Amino acid sequence: MKHISNLSILKAQGKQYIPDPTTAQVPGIFRGRPVISTTPADNEKIAAICPMQAIGTQGGLSIDLGKCAFCGLCARQFPDKITFTKDYKMATTVRENLIVREGIDKPIEYGPKPECAKLFKGSLKLRQVSAGGDNSCEWELGATGNVNFDMGRYGIEFVASPRHADGIVITGPITVNMARATQICYDAVPQPRLLVLCGVDAISGGLYADSDAIDRSFLKTHKVDLYLPGNPAHPLTILNGLRELTV
């Protein structure tokens, strides 16, 4: 009887995995990569309403996805100027590539892969460090391993020890109280190693950037290998960004 009930659950569940997470469509009104039209608008006014100060006005309107929390306020108030597409492939190895400029509607360029990425082909083990993360990016990083996204199929997994890892994924703006632990964890990863920032708080500090409880000096002395934007980053953003390192 026991096995029959197991089987009936398995039968009811069927296949839950997303067949191809590199081409999957996200449901609903997901706010991915924004597009800024060339329609004339009051750029200063648009920039002023952004809670994250992610909108720049130098040389036409631009949005920095490293600062953007994808709240969609600008698109709601200025729908003719800014729209958010459902393009979740926003990961990049180059910080500047996260800046979306007026009139340009093309995918975020992934950028050159780090030299050591060839060592991680088909197998990438990462250690996650939450350093002031609000547990939203942490949930989504966890979700990449569930049966829907199944990032394990690409050989990408989160491991318990930095000694077993090829790099670390930081979430959160890096608090003063986590600065040392973050450094110790990074140092414990064998070289060569990757440094990945996940979510707006990690990439730019987000709303916490100028808090005196934050210490981002770690990022001044280490090269970041991959940026995964979002608030939190969507599992498909994470999965596609990391997968690129392993192929």
69-98 residues in contact with other proteins (CB under 8 A) are 69-73, 76, 84
Q: Which of 38, 181, 187, 217 binds other proteins (CB under 8 A)?
A: 181
CB 56 within 8 A of CB 194: no
Task: Note whether 190 binds other proteins by CB under 8 A.
Answer: no
Q: How many CB atoms lie within 10 A of CB 14?
A: 6
- Confirm or reject binding of residue 175 to other proteins (CB under 8 A): yes
Closer to other proteins by Cβ: residue 110 or 196: 196
Cβ nearer to other proteins, comparing 94 with 209:
209
Triad 48, 202, 18: Cα angle to 5°: 100
CB of 40 to other proteins, least distance (A): 25
Binding span for other proteins by CB under 8 A among 33-41, 106-114, 117-125, 228-236? 228-236
| Closer Cβ to other proteins, 110 or 186, answer by number | 186
Q: Which stretch binds other proteins (CB under 8 A): 95-103, 110-118, 154-162, 221-229?
A: 154-162
Under rule CB under 8 A, residue 164 binds other proteins:
no
Residues 6+ apart with CB under 8 A from 78: 41, 46
User: Distance (Å, rounded) from C-alpha 41 to C-alpha 81?
Assistant: 7
By CB under 8 A, tell whether 24 contacts other proteins: no
Choice between 110 and 205, CB closer to other proteins: 205
The smaller minimum CB distance to other proteins, of residues 110 and 193, is found at 193
- Count of C-beta atoms within a 10 Å radius of residue 97: 17
Contacts of 163 (CB under 8 A, 6+ apart): 188, 189, 190
178 is a site residue for other proteins (CB under 8 A): yes
Whether residue 164 contacts residue 226, with contact meaning beta carbons closer than 8 Å, is answered with no
The only residue of 54, 185, 194, 226 in contact with other proteins, by rule CB under 8 A: 185
Rg of the chain, C-alpha, whole Å: 19
Q: Which residues make Cβ contacts (< 8 Å) with residue 168, sequence separation at least 6?
A: 126, 127, 128, 129, 162, 182, 185, 186, 189, 193, 194, 195, 196
Torsion of CA 171, 61, 91, 247, to 10 degrees: -160
Site of interaction with other proteins (CB under 8 A): 5-6, 8-10, 12-13, 16, 26-31, 49, 51-52, 69-73, 76, 84, 128-143, 146-148, 158, 160-161, 172-173, 175-178, 181, 185, 201, 206-208, 211-214, 231-232, 234
